[in-house]
Structure 1
Amino acid sequence: MGTYMITGATGGIGKAVAELLRDRGHDLILTGRSPERLGTLTKALGSGAHAHTQVIIRDRDGAPGAVRTSTPERATIQTIALDLGEPRRLEAALAETSMPDRLDGVIHSAGVVDLGPVAEQDADHWIDQLMVNLVSAAELTRILLPALRAAKGHVVFVNSTAGLQANPNWSAYAASKFGLRALADSLRAEETALQVTTVYPGRTATGMQQKVRAQEGQPYNASDFADPTSVARGVLAAVEMPRDAVVSDITIRPS
C-alpha cells in the first residue's frame, strides 16, 4: 500500500478521493483549512469494521499537533490544517509535522471560485483564487518533490473544464486553472520519473457548485451534475494505472 496526500480533503471531490483510497488500504495525509472538518472526516473514514485507533502527535512544545489514526492493517490517516491562501507559510507548517520520507502521490483537489466580470474583479479576487488554486499547488509540489522522487510517485492536479476554456465571468478562476495546466505540463517534462495527471471535471455536485449556481442566480440541483465519486473514480483509475503507462489528461463531464 502507498501513502497519499490530498489537499481540499473535506471538499466534495477531495473527500470522495479519500474514501476510495482509504478503502484500498492506503495511508492518507489529509489537508484542509478547518481542523474541525478534518476531524469529522477522519472519524467517518475510521468507522465500520476496520475502525481506527487515534494517536495525537504533539509538536515540539508538547501541544497537540497532527492527528495520526491507525487500523489493524496498519493503514494510517494523518490530518494537517493548512491555509492554502498563504503559500509562503506552507513550508514552515509542514516542517512542524511528521511527514514521510516517501510519498506515493499527492492529489491537489483544493480550490476556490469567485465569479464576476473583468470590470468588477479587483486585485483581491484575482490574488485569492490564484494563491489557492495555483501558487499553493506549485509550492506544495516543490516541498514534496524529494518524497515524491523517492517513491517515483504520482501528482494529480484536479483542474476544471474552465482550465480548457474561459467563459464570461470566469476570468480569474479560469486563469488559475489554465496556470495549473501549465504547471502540470512543465512538471511532467521536468520530473520524468514521476507520473503527472491533470483531471478536468465538468460541473460536479459539490459545495463549490452550490456557490457557483448562487452567483449565477440559478437553482442548484445535485442530480444535474456529476457525482464527486464519479470524478474520484477517474482519479483512482489514473493513480492505479500500471507503471508502463500514464494517464496524462482526463476530462470528466456530467452526462
Structure 2
Amino acid sequence: MPRTALVTGAARGLGAGIARLLSADHDVWVGGSTADSVAGISDELISARPWPVDLTDADALAAAAANITSLDVLVHNAGVADLGTVETLTLADWRHTFEANVFAVAELTRLLLPALRAAGGHVVLINSGAGIRANPGWSAYAASKFALRAFGDALRLEEPTLRVTSVHPGRIDTDMQRAIVAGEGEEYDASKYLTVETVARAVRQAVDTPADAHPTEIVLRTR
C-alpha cells in the first residue's frame, strides 16, 4: 500500500516541487487555497488528490482534515511574508502573518495527530533562515518563524513516535521571492537564490532518512 503525504501550499513553487518528489512513492494530498489553484499540479502527479482549503478557516480545515485517517508525511509549506518595519506593520499585518504561519500549522497538526500516530508519521516544517535570525524589515515574518521553530521543538518532545524536521532554507527562487525583491526595490537575479529543486530534495532526503535516525533540523544556504 503506498504511503501518504499532505503538502500544503503545493499549487506552485517549493510546495509543488516537494509534491513532485514525494509522488514517486506516495499518494499525495495537494494542498492549496482553491480547487483551481491545485488542479494543474494534481493532474500532473502520478498519484495525487486535490486538497483545496483555506488553512485559516477553522471549520473548513477541520472538515478537510476529517477525510485523512492515516498520514505518513505532513509538509507544512504554506505561508505568507508580510514585510515592513515595526513602525509600519499594523496589528492586522501581525495577525495575518501569525494566522497563516503559526496558528494554521498548529491547528492542522492537532487535527491530523491521530492520522500521523497511526502511520508513525513525519512532520516537516518549512521554516526559514528568518527562523534563526531576524533582519530589519522582517520582524513579523521572523517572529512567526521563530514561533514555528518552537512549535516543532515542542511537538518533537511531545510525540516521540513521530519525526519532526524543521527546514531552514535561505531565500529561494520562487514567485514569492520575486514579489519580495520587487518590494525591496531591487533587480531580480535568480542566481542569487536557492533553487526549488535543491530545497525539495533536502525535504525528500529527510523523509527518506532511515528509521533509526531523526533529522531534527536542516539549514540550507546559497554557496
TM-score by length of 1: 0.84
Are the counterparts in 1 of residues 65 and 108 from structure 2 also a CA contact under 8 Å?
Answer: no
Q: Deviations over 1:21-63 (max 9, x none)?
A: 11x22110111112112001112225xxxxxxxxxxxxxxxxx
Q: List gaps (5 residues or longer) in structure 1.
A: 47-75
Distance across 2 between alignment mates of 1:11 and 1:160: 18
Q: Which residue matches 1:13?
A: 14
How far off its partner does 1:254 sit? 1.6
Q: Which residue matches 1:86?
A: 57
Distance across 2 between alignment mates of 1:168 and 1:200: 18
Q: How many residues were matched structurally? A: 222
Q: Which residue matches 1:2?
A: 3
Correspondence list, 1:1-255, <5 A: 1-22=2-23, 24-46=24-46, 76-87=47-58, 89-95=60-66, 98-99=67-68, 101-255=69-223
Q: Which residue matches 1:64?
A: none
* Runs of 4+ off more than 4 Å: none
How far off its partner does 1:8 sit? 0.5
Please, what is the CA RMSD of the aligned residues? Answer: 1.2
SS in 2 for 1:118: coil
How far off its partner does 1:154 sit? 0.2
SS in 1 for 2:87: helix
Residues 92, 102 of structure 1: CA spacing in aligned structure 2 closer, same or farther, 3 A cutoff? closer
Distance across 1 between alignment mates of 2:141 and 2:58: 17
Distance across 1 between alignment mates of 2:132 and 2:84: 18
How far off its partner does 1:84 sit? 2.1
Are the counterparts in 2 of residues 87 and 135 from structure 1 also a CA contact under 8 Å?
Answer: no
Distance across 2 between alignment mates of 1:77 and 1:92: 19
**Is the deviation greater in 83-92 or in 194-203?**
83-92
Distance across 2 between alignment mates of 1:94 and 1:156: 17
How far off its partner does 1:246 sit? 1.1
Are the counterparts in 1 of residues 74 and 124 from structure 2 also a CA contact under 8 Å?
Answer: yes
Kindly provide the amino acid, as one letter, of the partner of residue 13 in structure 1.
Answer: L
How far off its partner does 1:88 sit? 5.4
Q: List gaps (5 residues or longer) in structure 2.
A: none
Are the counterparts in 2 of residues 10 and 37 from structure 1 also a CA contact under 8 Å?
Answer: yes
Distance across 2 between alignment mates of 1:189 and 1:93: 27
Kindly provide the amino acid, as one letter, of the partner of residue 223 in structure 1.
Answer: S
Are the counterparts in 1 of residues 65 and 112 from structure 2 also a CA contact under 8 Å?
Answer: no
Q: Counting helix residues as a fraction of each chain, which structure ranks higher?
A: 2
